[in-house]
Amino acid sequence: MRILFLGDIVGRSGRDAVAAALPRLRATLGVELAVINAENASHGFGLAPDMARVLFEAGADVLTLGNHAWDRREIIPYLATEKRVIRPLNFPPGTPGGGHAEVTLADGRRALVVNAMGRLFMDPLDCPFRTSAELLARYRLGASVNAIVVDFHAEATSEKMAYAHSFDGAVSLVVGTHTHCPTSDHQILPGGTAYQSDAGMCGDYDSVIGMAKEGAAARFWRKLPGERLAPAEGEATICGLFVETDDTTGLAKRIEPLRMGGRLAPAMPRA
């Protein structure tokens, strides 16, 4: 299975860039499953339903969220009907929405997409390791599903790495989101799981993690409340990764980074 994962969309700049490029990326790379973290898509904070629909129309199969899941209150009733938008599974029981989505391809192959959130320097949620293990016990990679993709939304690289090694061989891909800076540690772990600590963001990199420089820098200079943050609106760089899996085992055969447009050095996976 050919899988494209794009990192956190930040604001209009990132949203428009992804919507414009995704159809071409799907065609050029032969993408069969496209997963996008969209938790910062609406003005940098949260995801509004109308913006989710734009991304689905462009070719996204599943949208993941994170710590900004509830910043746009209108997403709460939307999650009740749109199962392709998922929030971290380790929110407490009773939280709206779900933490995983099952996708059936046109040829009948099936994929599971999971969203989990770390706890180091983040909100004190339920344990992402135990909740993920409980969910994954219901699936068998290469048997009940052909691929399993995990978006691990976390601050600490150590927690992301520990999570990936914990589930090495049980999932196809563990990719980190949240820090908005693409890492260069893309690899296939010993058990066959593809891994990258952070996919990076889809947004303007002439910024402070996607936010306009002036307001973001002022928060560090003055430490006063009320400094308004707004997404930077320059040309976006689309960041993510491309993974190809073995349909028999569900394990990764290759992982390559993707960076296009904007300020970062380009990287395009082989077709």
pLDDT for residue 222? 85
Structural domain includes residue 116: yes
- Tell if the pTM clears 0.75, that is, is over it: yes
- Give the domain CATH number at 188: 3.60.21.10
User: What is the residue-level pLDDT of the chain in tens, covering all 271 positions?
Assistant: 999 999 999 999 999 999 999 999 999 999 999 999 999 999 999 999 999 999 999 999 999 999 999 999 999 999 999 999 999 999 999 999 999 999 999 999 999 999 999 999 999 999 999 999 999 999 999 999 999 999 999 999 999 999 999 999 999 999 999 999 999 999 999 999 999 999 999 999 999 999 999 889 988 888 777 667 899 999 999 999 999 999 999 999 999 999 999 999 999 999 8
**Angle, CA of 20, 29 and 171, to the nearest 5°:** 105
CB 132 within 8 A of CB 89: yes
Expressed as residue numbers, the domain containing 75 is 2-260
Other C-beta atoms lying within 10 Å of the C-beta of residue 232? 25
What is the full DSSP assignment across 2-32? EEEEE-EEBHHHHHHHHHHHHHHHHHHHT-S
Say how far apart CA 9 and CA 105 lie, in whole Å. 24
Domain count, the chain: 1
In angstroms, the Cα distances linking 218 to 66, 173, 212, 230 are 25, 38, 11, 13
CB 250 within 8 A of CB 141: yes
Structural domain includes residue 56: yes
Say how far apart CA 26 and CA 99 lie, in whole Å. 25
Structural domain includes residue 28: yes
Catalytic residues: 68
Structural domain includes residue 267: no
Helix (H) / strand (E) containing 216: helix 213-222
Kindly report, residue by residue over 85-113, the tens digit of the pLDDT: 999 999 999 999 999 999 999 999 999 99
pLDDT for residue 180? 97
Structural domain includes residue 119: yes
Structural domain includes residue 268: no
In angstroms, the Cα distances linking 231 to 7, 9, 149, 203, 223 are 16, 11, 28, 8, 20
